[in-house]
Structure 1
Amino acid sequence: MDDRDALTTLISAPRRPLEERWRSPARAAELADARARHDADPDDYWAWVAEQHRWLTPWHTVRSGELGDFRYFEGGRINVADNCVDRWAEDPATADRPAVVWEGEPGDTRTLTYAQLADEVNRLAGGLRALGIRQGDVVAVYMPNLVEAFTAIHACNRIGAIYTVLFSGFGRDAVASRLAAARAKAVVVADAIHRRGKAVRLLETLRAARSDAPTVEHVVVVDRTGNGVPLHADEVGYAALLAEHPEGAPIVALDPNEAAFLIFTSGTESRPKGVVHSVGGFLLGTWANVHWQAGPVEGDVYWVAADVGWLTFPIQAVIGGLADGATIACYEGALDTPSPSRFYDVCERHGVTQVLCAPTVLRMLRKFGDDLAASHPLPRLQLITVQGEPLDGETFTWTTETFGVPVVNAYGQTETGSTWTYPVTGVDDLKAGSTGTPVPGHAFAIVDDEGTEVPAGTKGNLVLTRPFPTLARTVWDDHERYLSTYFGRFPGRYATNDEAVVDDDGHLWVLGRADDVINVAAHRLSTMEIEAVVGTHPKVVEAAVVGVPDATKGTVPVAFVTVAGDAEGVADEVRTLVGDTIGGLARPDRVIVTPAMPKTRTGKIMRRLMREILLHGEARSDTSALEDPGSLKALAAAVRG
């Protein structure tokens, strides 16, 4: 089987019609109108999105400029906190609606209505103002999924401060480098958090990092553990700050193109890259994202089972979810702590109706077994939607059959600020592994290395061909880096640096990073294509494939797998399976059975670290986003055999 045949096999999943019980005629009509607006002029669609929000000053121009230098809703003034919190708190019909339903890993819970959330956000905004935080100042939020993450972000939004969320798994050096790069003036931090039954002491890490972050003047400490930790001279307790400022702070009217926040990407580069998103663009785009992807309505409980440090959480929960007036479920800890039933327990306890997670979460549930799933039927659940990694067909099928709900697979990037292609919930049919078709307001192309569009069924480079509001506007302090990274290779188009293919039905299949495409004896193979086949082995629960140098073939694939049950014979069977399905060139040079894979806290497999361990026996690049350092030791031991 040649590479073209392998690709055809990968994208040959039949269209799975959406069951009638999940169809919404009202949403179908609304989507048809939105698509008609897009077809007439995508800017007309974004004007409709803008009409769903509250503007402090009307805008006069939908868009000016093109990719690399564009603006939206010029002349207008808007505030994110006003749209996500205040407008719901002021409406008697929604003031008492739960906004955030929170659960900590130890089992403690807290629920804030929109009215209560508005009061706490306003008080914290007043407190930040009293500390000297003004419009354009940077405030870092260093904590996990706590209610205070919502209030800190929206307090910044209220006064026009720029926030940056630091992953709560970051160590001293990662925190220091990001605080210094952002020139943060203040930090809101939890004293410690609960993770896998242990206390992770964030305040200690922050204090150690501050010697290399001289711009930080104030620290607001959330007493998560209730231990009343003694505070230093320039630190103030979160609860005390709220109590001291019942007057709050006035809403600041902001240009929708101003910087709202920056998020630092992790990778092989030594210099942190702070991607900047805009005030109005991110607000409007994430509202649309949640509206089409999850479609929450009154009475629903939308659980975004992701970490606040992953942009998915601000997109789907803190900004997009609240902009939709949704009730957001928020969980602090690990999804398998204290037992494998924790995911199901959270769903049952809070009446969850929609879940968003990484595909890795579904593979974890599959590994835990059918019996556990059967003992937790989750009758209120209506939707599972995933993003962050490719969704393999086996996991799609297992999830669909096990939970009996639609499984929506979405695609986006940190830089795109939202997912932009997926089957619209309640309307579109599904295909196992496909990311559907672009939602209104977005346009793309698949091009070869010279920038020429390729026909359906041919894989190539995925590029975006026109601007949209949530697309990142710059790289913090380095606009040239922004232009060269995203627009240098294909001028006039945004390079995702992902490979993809469109099938004959127009469905998009994202194959993975372009740098994960390996060249084996002059044949280009996507690691996702190989992973998809490896994942069909009945004992394989999770698979990751990387390419390593080979003196004869240039590059060869190596597969890592975790298995359910006895691993005897699995490696040889997987090699045979890949060879028979794709061809001898794709057969893994090695299949390594490992008890754990290195992942971020949000469940993304860190394949670059796996490649480094294969090549060097150790991880050599940035490990700051790694959840469990022990997974690297387990992986290294598996590599050594």
Structure 2
Amino acid sequence: MAEAAVFKDKPLVPPTPRLAQQAPLSPLEASRLIESARQDPVAYWEGIAEELWWASSWNRTLEGTLGNFRYFAGGLSNVSVNCVDRHLAQHANKVAVFYEREDGFREVWTYRQLSAEVNRFAAAMRAMGIAKGDRVAVYLSNIPEAFAVIQACYRIGAIYSVSFAGFSAEAVRDRLEDSQPRLVVVADGSLRRGKVVPLKETLDQAVHGISSVEKVVVVPRLGREVPMTPGRDVLYPEFIKGFGPEFPAEPLEANEPGFIIYTSGTTSKPKGLVHSGIGFLTGAYANVKWALNLQPQDVYWCTADVGWLTFPIFALVGGLAHGATLVAYEGAPDIPDPGRFYEILGRYQVNKVFTAPTLLRMLRRAGDRWIAHTENLELISLVGEPLDPDTFYWTKDKLGGGHIFVNNTYGQTETGTAWASALVGLSPTKPGSCGPALPGYVPEIVDEQGLPVGPGELGYLTLKEPFPSLARTIWGNPQRYLETYFSRFPGRYFSADAAAFDQDGQLWVTSRVDDVINVAGHRIGTMELEAALTNHPTVSEAAVVGIPDPVKGTVPLAFVILRSGQEKSSQLEAELAEQIARAVGSYAKPQRVIISSTLPRTRSGKIMRRLLRDLMTEGQIQGDVSALENPEAIEHLRAELEPR
């Protein structure tokens, strides 16, 4: 790959004085930590793990290598004890969760209340017969019960899997079929942009015929009348009725599976990545320590949905492990107007936020007149997609009035952490960069042959050494795990991202090197979208690409070829866009569906999506076209794209 120009002339932005005062280390101590972790990452992770609670220590810190390793082998611990129990002695009455819903409904849960709910639900699951290794599916939005249910699963060793509340029945069904849960927990509904999202009815469609499901627990959050299947469905209050506020946690070996999280790939079926419970806890705890540096008095808001890994890393596990006071908001943060976001900041005196660049671009588009209640704001950390410098400076200078630090980070569902990040209060960042690699991670940019490239050169982003939070396998398909992440560059984890480190050690991630696109922080495999289109009776072939969007970062754009005898129309284009929304989720709805008579192909018949992307974003074809079988297809497309 060529030399990267994206980071040229970008200045280093130092930590703010306020955050520098909170830093847990001096700059000299931080420099020594970074260097020692680079030389011995295993010793670094051992030091992090020693900050957590263990029922018994490990026999060996690291066994094995990438693709097959164990961290803290033989050590026994429990995530829920680290996230809830260990805060009770001194902070039982501290607020754990400020909950607010789009319609204005609010609740406050202390650590004592959260502990009681966790234990009651754990006892109820155990009474039902749920044991270590059994799967529990969670189809909830950002409600307090999501914290209780997931921590309860950790408490007894059940393997949970969360489905995003915006998923369609088909997307939820794919995940249920793969994980085969015994228990499903669902809310009666959720609110989004003034409308009810009928979660229970969607689940009923998804769960039909899934024989593993024995019970469905319904959380009656909206008080809706929903269909209940006798003998299978039970309301949450009834499920936990009669169980007390204490239930013993089961000590779990550090490498036992904690949860499955599904991520889209280049095939139509999502991959069920398996994270170890204690390994993920260790990585998330360290991630929050450096990327947020939460203080005892902080009120912190992670705006992500519980169905995306950002929320468990930075709130549900990583945040609670630090005894944080969290804000959990259910709904759209710009309803009834963009002032809602700022009202929440003021109502709870939020001083630290973790969000996605999409939200910042939305707030910027709404205009500066809405900005309010940012006096306490000290830090905005970000993940999910590249942050453009314009939005960086608007966030820093306009939204934050010059007194906040903007910390853009980088991570993947597979890595279980945002492992590139400024050490908040200690290290600088650059507008648009992802910061440096955090201690304990050993990244390297390599060329096609797997050889390291120099600073400033684009290449393939890899990680050379194991770390605790790395996904350990793909559920039910270990061979796919090895082939997907370790076959391209043997001995390394391959991120499938193009990136460069600049002369100052700042990471710049420029693009995916496969066909996965990123919509507002949601990774979507294009083949998943294409499969939805080709399931429509009018469609013969489909190709989806990602194109830049000023708010969402990237949005899907679809091309289809109709079956013989079908006629092109704007009505059909709209219908096909809705087809994707129904099959995958509304967040995946394409900006446009273009009905075409032809598409560019290689000699083997593969559609050249790169050329479609070039045509839509640049207006012309760039790069090598030697493999193109039908060059006339480009001119045909140009003609069809002309305004009618």
TM-score grouping bracket, smaller chain normalisation: 0.7 to 0.9
Alignment of 1:287-302 (within 5 A): 287-302=285-300
Question: 2: CA distance between counterparts of 1:349 and 1:558?
Answer: 37
Alignment-derived partner of residue 25 in structure 2: 28
Shift of 1:16: 1.7
Find the aligned partners of 2:160 and 2:104 in 1 and give their Cα distance: 29
Q: CA deviation at 1:309?
A: 0.8
**What amino acid does structure 1 have at the position aligned with 2:444?**
A
Partner of 2:240: 242
Structure 1 residue 168: Cα displacement: 0.7
* TM-superposed deviation, 1:276: 0.4
Alpha-carbon distance in structure 1 between the residues aligned to 2:361 and 2:188: 33
Given residue 15 of structure 1, which amino acid in structure 2 is its aligned partner? L
Deviation at 1:347, TM superposition (A): 1.0
Match of residue 390 from structure 2: 394
CA RMSD of aligned residues (A): 2.8
Is the 1:358–1:604 Cα contact (8 Å) retained in structure 2? Answer: no
Query: Displacement, 1:240?
Result: 1.9
Q: Deviation string for 1:386-407 (max 9, x for gaps)?
A: 0010111111111111112100
Q: CA deviation at 1:46?
A: 0.6
Question: Quick one: which amino acid aligns to residue 610 of structure 1?
Answer: L
- DSSP 3-state at the match of 1:286: helix
> What is the CA distance between 1:377 and its match in structure 2?
3.9
**Other-structure match for 1:370:** 368
What are the equivalent positions in structure 2 for 1:304-323 lying under 5 Å apart?
Answer: 304-323=302-321
Shift of 1:250: 2.0
For 1:627, which of 586, 591, 615 is the aligned residue?
586
Identical-residue share of aligned pairs (%): 44
Give deviations 1:396-423, integer Å, cap 9, x for gaps.
1111111121000100000000011111
C-alpha deviation, 1:23, in angstroms: 1.1
Do structure 1's residue 470 and structure 2's residue 469 form an aligned pair? yes
Structure-1 residue corresponding to 2:600: none
1:605 is matched with which residue? 554
2:381 to 371, 385, 410: 385
The whole-number CA distance in structure 1 between the counterparts of 2:11 and 2:161 is: 42
Superposed, 1:192-591 pairs within 5 Å as 192-227=189-224, 229=226, 231-233=228-230, 234-246=232-244, 248-373=246-371, 376-402=372-398, 403=400, 404=402, 405-515=404-514, 560-562=548-550
Q: Deviations over 1:18-63 (max 9, x none)?
A: 2333313742336345324414411111111111111011112111
Aligned to 1:178: 175
Counterpart-to-counterpart distance in 2, 1:310 and 1:223: 23
Give 1:15 deviation, angstroms: 1.1
Contact 1:137 1:162 survives alignment (8 Å): yes
Shift of 1:252: 0.7
List runs of 5+ in structure 2 lacking aligned partners: 519-525, 527-542, 563-567, 597-615, 617-640
Q: How far apart are the structure 1 equivalents of 2:581 and 2:74?
A: 42
Partner of 2:125: 128
Alignment equivalent of 1:112, drawn from 109, 114, 125: 109
CA drift at 1:129? 1.2
What is the identity, as a one-letter code, of the residue corresponding to 2:554?
A: I
Task: Indicate the SS of the match to 2:91.
Answer: coil
Query: Following the alignment from structure 2 to structure 1, what is the Cα–Cα distance between the partners of residues 181 and 420?
Result: 34
Contact preservation (8 Å) 2:83, 2:320:
yes
Structure 1's 614 and 347: CA in aligned 2 closer, same or farther, altered over 3 A? farther
Q: In the superposition, relative to structure 1, how do residues 40 and 112 fare at CA in structure 2: closer, same or farther (>3 Å)?
A: same
Alpha-carbon offset, residue 633 of structure 1: 5.7
The CA deviation string for residues 415-464 of structure 1, in whole angstroms up to 9 with x for no partner, is: 00001111111111121011111111001111111111111111000000
Q: CA contact under 8 A between 2:285 and 2:319: conserved in structure 1?
A: yes
Aligned to 1:594: none
For residues 168-203 of structure 1, give each alpha carbon's deviation from its aligned partner in whole angstroms, at most 9, with x where no partner exists. Answer: 111111111111100111101001111111111111
Instruction: Report the 3-state secondary structure (helix = DSSP H, G, I; strand = E; otherwise coil) of the residue aligned with 1:329.
Output: strand
Instruction: Name structure 1 gaps, 5 residues minimum.
Output: 518-526, 529-545, 547-554, 563-596, 598-602
Instruction: Deviation per CA, 1:470-521: give whole Å up to 9, x if none.
Output: 000000000000000000100000000000011111211111201379xxxx
Q: Residues 3 and 253 from structure 1, CA distance in 2 versus in 1: closer, same or farther, beyond 3 angstroms? A: closer
Q: Answer whether contact 1:180 1:214 (CA < 8 A) is retained.
A: no
Measured in 2, the distance between the counterparts of 1:125 and 1:604 equals 40
**Superposition TM-score, scaled by structure 1 size:** 0.82
* 1:266 and 1:625 in contact (8 A); partners too: no
User: d(CA) in 1 for partners of 2:429 and 2:145?
Assistant: 37
Contact 1:221 1:238 in 2 (8 A): yes
Structure 2 matches for 1:59-208, cutoff 5 A?
59-89=58-88, 91=89, 93-208=90-205
Contact 1:267–1:621 (CA under 8 A) maintained in structure 2: no
In structure 2, do the counterparts of structure 1 residues 369 and 203 end up closer, same or farther at CA, with 3 Å as the change threshold? same
Give the Å deviation of 1:212: 3.5
Structure 1: distance between partners of 2:420 and 2:100: 31
